[in-house]
Amino acid sequence: MKVEHEKTKEVLKWFEEITKIPRCSKNEEKIANWLSQWAEENNFEAKRDKVDNLVIKVPGSPGYENSPAVIIQGHMDMVCEKTPDSDHDFTKDPIKLVYDGDWLTADKTTLGADNGIAIAMAMAMALDKDVAHPPLELLFTVDEETGLTGANKLESDFLDGRILINVDSEDEGVFTVGCAGGINTYLSVPLKNESMPNGYKTYKVTAGGMKGGHSGIDIGMGKANAIRILGRALHQVRKDGIDLRIVDIKGGSAHNAIPRDATAVVALPSGEFSSAEKIINEYSKTFNSEFQKTDPDLKVSIEESNESVSKVLTTDSTIAIIQFTLAMLHGVAAMSPDIEGLVETSNNFANISIEDGKLKVLSSQRSSVVSKLQEHTSRIESLAKLAGGDAKSGDGYPPWQPNMESELLAKSTKLYEQLYNKKPVVEVIHAGLECGIIGDKYPGMDMISIGPDLKYPHSPDEKISIPAIGKVWDFIVELLKTMK
């Protein structure tokens, strides 16, 4: 790999160091310690709050010492996803980087450029003597990916600046100025077991090969949800008269990742395996045809299981799970009437499992309209209650309402056009950004979100454009220069 842009080399040097440090959501202590040590070694003031949010203060360069401070912001955690055949241990193993032409990706895991690239860029910028800049506050938050916890826990006196550049967007040349709010809902439905019927054997049904992706950015693409696919396959087996009983079911991972894989351990009369296999193979072809454009490698299969099982779910509980997977909402609920092509309201059927004798389901709702977010959440809560269960929703986070009169936006738009001889795209996105929460906590904060081209975040296909890193670097450097 040959990197032409000299500053990109420095950014990638720091990014490679970051990828050596385990930093799944809710486990950011090591990266926070490492960054604190880096700040101390470079004589930068640093402080951490109770949840490990970190702000590093970098003095202004000569001539900029008394300029208003600018916040460069990103999050320390990453979504930890891997392919089924990967033996990567996210608690200790460094990410294995793969340079492929103009792209940087990882070997069978998420890359963590979401949002490690923001940290690397801020570190390189803070140390670069050629960069003229006002006082900088490098704000690195925790647990963004599982509910924007760090931003929610920020205290009102943690920051001094009122200009913020968030580097957590995924398209170079696009300025994000608004985002959806979100709420996670946890659903629980009681189940009943009985003894394994005589003459039954256990089998494993697998729905896999799906692309997954970001549950906000990608939700409008119509990608397959592995949990829904698995539920449809199990439904068809029972519909065709086979007494399938569920023993266990698992699917999905993070609240903001569209499920790529799901499995069910089931019990069948031993003489019915061939019939069940034929049904599932036929429906695998049907599913593959339905999702040929978005998930061409989708596959559903059944095989014998070596699990020793003494209990299975009753017929009623088995049917309840299958019906729940069919009835559970997933995908786009409404498009924006104001912004063409923008998803207004959606949810991700994110996770399913059986724990402590109950079906457990996680749904993640998003909307740019608070009342619609609340209404859609109520619909999902109602499904659990209709099934005889319970639902509990979190506090969520607010939408970031766009300010089209922003001074920072006007300055950024004019500068980008001067640098690249084209106008940037200004957009509102259907994903959660910390800007909404930070702006709520710090009234008057002028904010913009930018970033290099990043493809397939929250999946093992995640990759970042190397040339785009240099373009974003150049833009931020020129923008900071104007803030004397």
* Active site amino acids: 77, 144
| Residue tagged 């799944």 (tokens) | 24
The beta-strand segments (E) located in 191-285 are: 193-195, 200-208, 245-252, 262-269
Alpha helices in 42-172 (DSSP H): 113-127, 149-153
CA angle 355/360/366 to nearest 5° reads 150
Cα torsion angle, 413, 417, 418, 419, sign:
positive
Cα distances (angstroms) measured from residue 480 to each of 39, 152, 172: 21, 27, 18
Question: Ramachandran region of residue 209, left (φ > 0), alpha (ψ -120 to 50) or beta?
Answer: left
Alpha helices in 247-314 (DSSP H): 273-290
Give the number of other Cβ atoms within 10 Å of residue 141's Cβ: 29
Sheet holding 136-141, edge to edge: 45-48, 54-58, 136-141, 70-75, 163-166, 446-449, 174-179, 425-429
One-letter identity of residue 35 = L
One-letter identity of residue 406 = S
| Residue tagged 């390189």 (tokens) | 124
* Cis bond before residue 115 (omega within 30° of 0): yes
One-letter identity of residue 159 = L
Lookup: tokens for 263:
């499995």
One-letter identity of residue 312 = V
Lookup: tokens for 261:
């894989």
Crossing angle of helices 407-420/466-481, nearest 10°?
Answer: 120
Q: Per-residue b/e over 25-44, b at no fewer than 16 CB within 10 Å?
A: bebbeebbebbbebbeeeeb
DSSP 8-state class, residue 220: G
User: Are the C-beta atoms of residues 253 and 351 closer than 8 Å to each other?
Assistant: yes
Give the number of other Cβ atoms within 10 Å of residue 12's Cβ: 22
How far is Cα 166 from Cα 175, in angstroms, rounded to an integer?
10
